[in-house]
Structure 1
Amino acid sequence: MASVRLATLKALHGSLSIFNPSQSLMPRTQTYTVRALSATMSPPSSAVVYEHHGPPDSVTRLIELPPVEIKQNDVCVKMLAAPINPSDINRIEGVYPVRPQVPAVGGYEGVGEVHSLGSAVRGLSPGDWVIPSPPSFGTWQTYIVKDQSVWHKIDKNTPMEYAATVTVNPLTALRMLEDFAGLKSGDSIVQNGATSMVGQCIIQIARAQGIRSINITRDRAGSDEAKEKLKKLGADEVFTESQLEVKNVKDFLANIPEPALGFNCVGGNAASLVLKFLRQGGTMVTYGGMSKKPITVSTSSFIFKDLSLRGFWLQKWMNSDKAEECRRMIDYLLGLVHEGKLTYEMELVPFNDFHTALDKALGKLGSQPKQVIKF
């Protein structure tokens, strides 16, 4: 969008001279006054901006951005909450495959309240709650102006933190459960990284659909407490990696059918354990690599078990003209939230404490729940 706000961001590295650098990126009074008289404008916005890629705690800063013109098909949204996801951190670091051009505002998903509308907008009213769907870059700011096609209206009774986080992790879990094996009630899945947010969502969504889950966690302090937590979420079986260092892991299945589908977000030995559980013709889907170790597959797994290895990346799926389907699934997931069938731990943090939340998201303060910024 060719806007004053975009000009502000470009001014961060000197490509435009609309602003005086000595004025902390605030617009000159004359420029702002002339523009405000000629168009409907949004309020000014506070935003977390990074001018170049690098360590997020070093390159991000909170700045003030000027008003943006609200065109006839635009919706101005006052953001309510937005999470700090690992992919947000990777974008700032410059290592994520798809990322906005710098300088940029951080954040990729969130929830907001309609503040004002362009003259041609229909179906939305001030006060409605909306989320960007598919998600959109730049949610770490107090006001966002985008075309009405970006925004999906949701139930205002949804807990704010769940509305802010539904689009990335829960949607990843749902899509992987539905896209690879044609699972039905009574079937089972196996996964590593079960304590992750996606892992917890897989357990609960599978449970809601009558699908049983076998879950693998790391050996670490507090593993017994983690096991109990996952059991309360609906996990059928939970094992640490060391428990599965046996010849035949399927002896642990008892009355659970051999899984046709497995999920891997760790790699290394943890991925091999998922493969050991899979039935003939089963599929393992990889969506992460937290251990940074490669996946090793035995020749016999391919020849005698005919196993398949697949990958999943939510952003690629959402970029393939899936907007309407994506929105139906979001409504389904938020319905599970309302029914108490989908829950995960989060911490709401005031926007002014963004860098504390960032430190927690970076793991600098030990294990922490998902950090969600509240504007």
Structure 2
Amino acid sequence: MALVRAACLHTKVARGAGLPAKARAGLVYRKHGDPAQVVQLEDMVLPSIGSKDVLVEILAAPINPSDINMIQGTYAILPDLPAVGGNEGVAKVVEVGSQVQSLKTGDWVIPRDAGLGMWRTVAVFSEKDLISVPNDIPLLSAASLGVNPCTAFRMLNDFEDLKPGDSVIQNAANSGVGQAVIQIAASRGINTINVVRDRPEFTQLSDRLKAMGASHVIKETTLRQPEMKELFKTCPRPKLALNGVGGKSATELLRHLEIGRTMVTYGGMAKQPVTVPVSSLIFKDVKVRGFWVTQWKRDHAHNEGAFRGMVDELCTLIRQAKLTAPACSEVNLRDYRQALEAAMQPFISAKQVLVM
């Protein structure tokens, strides 16, 4: 299992042993706690390359909220300790085992599932744990492809039959998922009503999201204001609501849904429960669903075409410049503490990406 394999830090050196010691390093945590305190940069020993394994050089790996939660010990899945952090990233294949068929030297690859441990310079992974991506797309787009864009893609595809001209409303619109929702929806002619928390630089943020294709950008307080009626004179009520916050924000999204439609919760940044008004259930017959992209990947692990098709479609959008990586700050692996601390700050304006 990937979670267990990723934690195997001290095994006999075989191939790849010729790499300089400084090239075999990773961010390891041996107990749960504050990431900036429990994560350490350590030299690592490469395991032997089996017949169905590949040796990869990690190129870049983001720091996502799920990575932080995993280290804190609060995530739904936890690897055995000690473990290497990082659930997402892009790597280049350096060497392949004798029975590897789907990958070759030089290919770019991303993890199929969480728990591989991407915050390291090199690694040996099983062929089945990786999927190839084009190596002619931007590095940061490839590194941040496997979680947020896939989450956005599935939520836009799987819960309501959305057509050009339809509307979607979402909170956390400036998050990685939110930015992907905006761009994928815009490529399909779907309107997005994007809710963000009030902040001093609201106008600049609004302009940036609209440049990506956002139809409307509003503050959370606006959800409770009469001006929403004016908005719906130019934009149909949403058939889909996407909730990454929880609490009052989720309740307000529900109030604006079209009758009989769906709210999907994929995150809970407010750390408050989702409260569903009785009136929304009785008089609007709304549907309340949840989504976790890790579970989707596991449910479709034996359907190669489902994941492959999604990745190919997302990469096509990237090539067409219709889907870009979120704003990123590239940080050298040695400066990982700075990156971890920045990733945990409120009102984050850029995703921290470890560059190896």
**Mapped pair 1:99 → 2:78:** yes
Q: 1:312 aligns with which of 291, 297, 301?
A: 291
Single out whichever of 166-175 and 181-190 deviates more from structure 2.
181-190
TM-score, normalised to structure 2, is 0.91
Query: Per-residue deviation at 1:348?
Result: 1.5
**Mapped pair 1:353 → 2:335:** yes
CA spacing shift, 1:4–1:208, aligned 2, 3 Å:
closer
Query: Per-residue deviation at 1:5?
Result: 8.0
Match of 1:25 in 2: none
TM-score, normalised to structure 1, is 0.87
Does the 8 Å CA contact 2:197/2:220 hold for their aligned counterparts?
Answer: yes
Match of 1:121 in 2: 100
**Mapped pair 1:279 → 2:288:** no
**Mapped pair 1:188 → 2:167:** yes
Match of 2:177 in 1: 198
Greater length-normalized contact order (CA 8 Å, ≥ 6 residues apart)? 2
Match of 2:323 in 1: 342
Q: Deviations over 1:136-189 (max 9, x none)?
A: 421111111122122222211111111111010111011011110111222111
Query: Per-residue deviation at 1:327?
Result: 2.5
Q: What is the rounded CA distance, in whole Å, between the counterparts of 1:348 and 1:168 in structure 2?
A: 18
Q: What is the rounded CA distance, in whole Å, between the counterparts of 2:6 and 2:266 in structure 1?
A: 38
Q: Deviations over 1:83-129 (max 9, x none)?
A: 11110000000000101011101111111111111112224322221
Match of 2:198 in 1: 219
SS of residue paired to 1:359: helix
Query: Per-residue deviation at 1:135?
Result: 4.3
Q: 1:146 aligns with which of 112, 118, 125?
A: 125
Query: Per-residue deviation at 1:235?
Result: 1.0
Single out whichever of 261-270 and 237-246 deviates more from structure 2.
237-246
Q: What is the rounded CA distance, in whole Å, between the counterparts of 2:318 and 2:44 in structure 1?
A: 35
AA partner of residue 215 (structure 2): D
Q: What is the rounded CA distance, in whole Å, between the counterparts of 1:269 and 1:225 in structure 2?
A: 25
Q: What is the rounded CA distance, in whole Å, between the counterparts of 2:152 and 2:6 in structure 1?
A: 38
Q: What is the rounded CA distance, in whole Å, between the counterparts of 1:244 and 1:87 in structure 2?
A: 28
Q: What is the rounded CA distance, in whole Å, between the counterparts of 2:204 and 2:130 in structure 1?
A: 40
Match of 2:221 in 1: 242
SS of residue paired to 2:210: helix
AA partner of residue 294 (structure 1): P
Single out whichever of 216-225 and 129-138 deviates more from structure 2.
129-138
Does the 8 Å CA contact 1:77/1:115 hold for their aligned counterparts?
Answer: yes
Q: 2:281 aligns with which of 302, 309, 317?
A: 302
Alignment of 1:1-375 (within 5 A): 6=8, 8=10, 36=14, 40-41=15-16, 43=19, 45-246=24-225, 249-322=228-301, 324=304, 325-343=306-324, 344-363=326-345, 367-375=348-356
Q: What is the rounded CA distance, in whole Å, between the counterparts of 2:6 and 2:308 in structure 1?
A: 31
Does the 8 Å CA contact 2:239/2:257 hold for their aligned counterparts?
Answer: yes
Query: Per-residue deviation at 1:254?
Result: 2.1
Does the 8 Å CA contact 2:152/2:181 hold for their aligned counterparts?
Answer: yes
Q: What is the rounded CA distance, in whole Å, between the counterparts of 1:225 and 1:213 in structure 2?
A: 18
Q: Deviations over 1:241-281 (max 9, x none)?
A: 22232358333212212111101111222112211211110
Identity of aligned residues (%): 42
Q: What is the rounded CA distance, in whole Å, between the counterparts of 1:3 and 1:320 in structure 2?
A: 20
CA spacing shift, 1:128–1:144, aligned 2, 3 Å:
same
SS of residue paired to 1:347: strand
Q: What is the rounded CA distance, in whole Å, between the counterparts of 1:208 and 1:3 in structure 2?
A: 39
Unaligned runs of 5+ in 1: 10-31
Answer with 1 or 2: which has the greater Rg. Answer: 1
SS of residue paired to 2:203: helix
Q: What is the rounded CA distance, in whole Å, between the counterparts of 2:102 and 2:71 in structure 1?
A: 35
SS of residue paired to 1:219: coil
SS of residue paired to 2:55: strand
Q: What is the rounded CA distance, in whole Å, between the counterparts of 2:7 and 2:114 in structure 1?
A: 20
Q: What is the rounded CA distance, in whole Å, between the counterparts of 2:65 and 2:226 in structure 1?
A: 35
How many residues are matched? 347
